[in-house]
A and B are shown apart, each in its own frame.
Chain A
Amino acid sequence: NAGVTQTPKFRILKIGQSMTLQCAQDMNHNYMYWYRQDPGMGLKLIYYSVGAGITDKGEVPNGYNVSRSTTEDFPLRLELAAPSQTSVYFCASSRQGYYEQYFGPGTRLTVT
């Protein structure tokens, strides 16, 4: 099993550009999550999904969009990138909401 994979590993965006962060898992997990991690702030939940076709907002959803068309994939879309979106983004999955989460290696995004 590859577990949770994320692409790209690094990306530099100009202000106003858009991009999609890819996330895939091969564990047949129902739940998937997107977090951002800023220094000294722990992880903040952006969006999550409880199954294909179902998504919901987390703590910091503004400026982001998600979709979940399959069990395996959960892409995160950034529209009109802003410097405040400079962060490390982690995707995670779990079998159910109260189970442990498995994390991908992260995407380091810089917006200048």
Chain B
Amino acid sequence: AQSVTQLDSHVSVSEGTPVLLRCNYSSSYSPSLFWYVQHPNKGLQLLLKYTSAATLVKGINGFEAEFKKSETSFHLTKPSAHMSDAAEYFCVVTLYSGAGSYQLTFGKGTKLSVIP
């Protein structure tokens, strides 16, 4: 069975310092991986995606993530946090489960706080 684990439920950083949000997955197949961001009382917005092309993926707003198959990880990073990055972030894994069907699994989310 596939699963997604976001290793931190809450991360707090100072403005201008690096951000690291950690995500590990378990899967028997090559997954598609996504990071989404959710600002308070808003829907989810796609930050970036990995779909078996380059292992280092660049997204919007200066975020990037690296797919590491040997570590089954897809951590999200940003060199310098901005106040507007304060939000909840979700790691998502999509796997093909046969017969034209896909299984999507969301992590439980990491809430990012940015201290001025």
Contact = CB atoms under 8 A, between A and B. Distances in A.
Contacts, number: 50
A50 interface: yes
B45 A50 contact: no
A99 B91 CA distance: 15
A104 B90 contact: no
A97 B102 contact: yes
A56 B46 CA distance: 24
Given A40-B9, A106-B43, A98 B51 contact: yes
Interface residues of A, number: 21
Interface in B23-49: 32, 34, 36, 41-46, 49
A100 B108 contact: no
B33 to A, nearest CB: 11
Contacts of B94: 97-98
A8 B42 CA distance: 14
Contact of B44 (A41, A44, A90, A97): A90
Q: Kindly list the 10 A-B residue pairs having the minimum CB-CB distance in the complex, ordered from nearest.
A: A97-B102, A103-B43, A42-B108, A42-B106, A103-B44, A43-B106, A105-B43, A100-B46, A98-B32, A98-B94
Interface of B: 9, 32, 34, 36, 41-46, 49, 51, 90, 94, 96, 100-102, 104, 106-109
Given A50-B101, A100-B49, 13 more contacts: A40-B109, A43-B44, A92-B44, A97-B101, A97-B102, A98-B32, A98-B51, A98-B102, A101-B46, A101-B104, A104-B43, A105-B43, A106-B41
